[in-house]
Structure 1
Amino acid sequence: MLTRLSPRTAARALTEFWSPRVIGELDDAYVKVAKLHGSLTWHSHEHEDELFFILKGHLRIELEDGVVTLGEGDLFIVPKGTRHNPVAEEECHVLLVERKTTLHTGEVTTEKTRTLAEQLRPLPLPGAGGDGS
């Protein structure tokens, strides 16, 4: 059965910061949403690119050679092997597209690191069909 889903609604339903949840699959990639606040950690994904799309708020992605600042509706792809640190000064909601092999914080493990099993937990959504927002 085909299901319509609002990424904004899914992100709003999250109760934890820095704990992405899988909301769909696209070939060999997962589509995820996350609610962010504060700083994650410096890390990289040696073999995978990582797409960030801002649903709400602002996100600063620190890179070794500069900073990318994103606002609602902006998209940025962190190239594979690029060390980066996402930072949200205030609550920010993002949609992520990552290959299924992508580890949450790459080679680094912190208290914020989430396993794939944690990211695949069901997400309780009011009105599972989404509200189109």
Structure 2
Amino acid sequence: MTAINLADKLSTFTAHWSPRIVGSFNGHDLMVVKVLGEFVWHDHPETDDFFMVLSGELTIDLPDGAVTLKPGEVFVVPKGVQHRPRAAVETHLLLIEPAGTPNTGDPATAATKVRI
């Protein structure tokens, strides 16, 4: 067993909106992702959506407004709530979700998650 260095894991790829699995616990994937620009509006009918900003700044658009997160801040989108993450600058995130959860809410359009 070894510690997971998130900065080291983030340095291994450049693609945006393509989560990388760095660990797991209790049936959940721990993932890092680089984001820039806007993602699609979507929801997750069966699970909440956890976001933690490691660097940069993330805005999560919601039906009734938006939440902006800075490094060290966390936000959980409740299951079934439409949302759209977006970032004006490259932003690095830690995501935690049940293994196999599609990032778009739809397996047909979701990014393939790679373990690194």
TM-score category, normalised to shorter length:
over 0.9
Runs of 4+ displaced beyond 6 Å: none
SS at the partner of 1:13? coil
- Structure with higher strand content: 2
Alignment of 1:2-81 (within 5 A): 2-81=1-80
Q: Structure 1 unaligned runs (5+)?
A: 124-133
Q: Given the alignment of the two structures, is residue 120 of structure 1 paired with residue 114 of structure 2, yes or no? A: yes
How many pairs are equivalent? 116
Alpha-carbon distance in 2 for matches of 1:62, 1:109 = 23
Aligned-partner residue type, residue 51 of structure 1: F
How much is the aligned-residue C-alpha RMSD, in angstroms?
1.5
Mark the CA change 1:109 to 1:69 in structure 2 (over 3 Å): closer, same or farther. farther
CA deviation string 1:93-124 (max 9, x = no partner)? 000000114111003855xx313xxx134x3x
SS at the partner of 1:69? strand
SS at the partner of 1:8? helix
Mark the CA change 1:52 to 1:72 in structure 2 (over 3 Å): closer, same or farther. same
* Identity across matched positions, percent: 39
**How far does residue 37 in structure 1 lie from its aligned partner after superposition?**
0.3
Alpha-carbon distance in 2 for matches of 1:9, 1:85 = 27
The answer (yes or no) to whether the contact 1:43–1:108 under 8 Å persists in 2 is: no
Q: Structure 2 unaligned runs (5+)?
A: none
Scaled by the length of structure 2, what TM-score is found? 0.93
